[in-house]
Amino acid sequence: MQFLGIEFAPLSLPFERRLQTLSVLFYVFLFLQGLSLIGFSLFIYLLFTNYYWISLIYGLWYYLDNDTPYKGGRKFPWSRTWSLWKYFRDYFPIKLVKTADLDPNKNYIFGISPHGVMCFSSLINFATDATNFPDLFPGLEPHLITLNGQFFSPLMREFFMLCGSCACEEQSLKYILFNKGQCKQKGQVCALLVGGARESNEAYPGTYRLVLKRRKGFIRIALETGASLVPVLTFGENDAYKTVVVKDGSFIQKVQAFAKRYLNIGLPIITGRGIFNYNFGIMPYRVPMVTIVGKPIEVEKTENPTEDQINELQKKYIDDLVNLFETNKDKYLTNKNTNIEIL
């Protein structure tokens, strides 16, 4: 259906596709801090009503529970199996592929690339069971490592912790990998989006520009804890939106740099599709995403790693990630001439 040059979705679409769209719309709303805004507004509003005691009780709970995102999180397995996530998975669709068995008696850091605009594949692969993580990697317990800011607001923090997510801090990763407190068993996985906010600004369709050269913190933590490093690469993540190329030295690039430095967020200029149309909106395009989990890099525990040891392990990780890309690109990319670029 077209009207004034706008292509609208037909009214006769199967109900299941409508549910897929709604599930992704929920996450987009979540990612754009909609739930945070509701949480803060509700908290403040209730303070000025007869139900002020609800905000006071939650404020006390927030204070007492403030360290939980840094101490292994709080996982409710039932939340990982919601039908919501299956519809989310099928919207694109998203697939998780393993290339090697992982020993459940060891701990791992999954270094995930690329970040993409809204990390769709990382959420569905490592914060839910929709792509069969428990069957592919039996005995492993994944923790999606996400921005600290996700745990600052009412409602938002509770949602992310439902799925076992933890804060992106050194103490958080070490708590999980050293098997202290709640995490006494082996088989712990820290699923970390290595490129972070800066890499989201590089999420141009059909490209794989990965911010890795200065990312050494997770390498050092792997050495200090003895956790094996696993390169993880997603094909299709950067194709979810059309991203405007930002020129070096432009005003927009300066705004992006400011947001990255002071707010720790990326601000890519994107266009997507709408809820009821295919031309414009905030919804991602329906593009297949395939996440490849590579072979583990065994790491010898080193209490005080030297700079040379860190650089050597980082080089090994980057080489394995590039090899994972080159080995699989013919299978999952239409343009076989696509190259990977390490920034």
DSSP notation for 275-308? SSBSSSSSBPP---EEEEE---B-----SS--HH
SS3 236: coil
- Structure-token match 């790693």, residue found: 305
Q: Sort strands 228-235 and 108-113 into parallel, antiparallel or unpaired.
A: parallel
| Tokens describing residue 257 | 């740099």
Longest dimension (CA), the chain: 65
Q: Does the pLDDT at position 235 exceed 60?
A: yes
Q: Does the pLDDT at position 181 exceed 50?
A: no
Average pLDDT of the segment spanning 26-48: 86
Rounded Cα distance between 92 and 290, Å, is: 10
- Amino acid residing at 170: E
Q: Sort strands 166-167 and 270-271 into parallel, antiparallel or unpaired.
A: unpaired
Q: Between the CA of residue 249 and those of 202, 246, 255, 257, 340, what are the distances in Å?
A: 15, 9, 10, 10, 24
Mean pLDDT, the chain, integer = 89
Q: How confident is the model at residue 284 (pLDDT cuts 50, 70, 90)?
A: very high
Q: How confident is the model at residue 218 (pLDDT cuts 50, 70, 90)?
A: very high
Give me the pLDDT at residue 256, please: 78
Rounded Cα distance between 275 and 298, Å, is: 45
SS3 137: coil
Q: Which of 124, 118, 117 is CA-nearest to residue 91?
A: 124
Q: Which of 325, 341, 24, 90 is CA-nearest to residue 203?
A: 341
Helices 83-91 and 15-31 meet at what angle, rounded to 10? 100
Give me the pLDDT at residue 75, please: 78
Decide if 150 contacts 127 (C-beta within 8 A): no
Give me the pLDDT at residue 157, please: 87
Provide CB contacts within 8 A for 138, sequence distance 6+. 104
Q: Which of 142, 109, 106, 140 is CA-nearest to residue 123?
A: 142
Rounded Cα distance between 231 and 86, Å, is: 25
Domain ranges of the chain: 13-235+288-332
Give me the pLDDT at residue 158, please: 87
Q: How confident is the model at residue 299 (pLDDT cuts 50, 70, 90)?
A: very high
Q: Which of 99, 118, 314 is CA-nearest to residue 199?
A: 118
What letter does residue 101 receive in the DSSP assignment? -
| Tokens describing residue 281 | 């909106």
Average pLDDT of the segment spanning 40-58: 92
Torsion, Cα 204 209 214 217, to 10 degrees, reads 80
Decide if 109 contacts 188 (C-beta within 8 A): no
Average pLDDT of the segment spanning 63-69: 90
Rounded Cα distance between 264 and 11, Å, is: 41
Half-sphere exposure for 335 (CA within 13 Å, toward CB): 11
Rounded Cα distance between 332 and 129, Å, is: 23
- Structure-token match 């199967």, residue found: 14
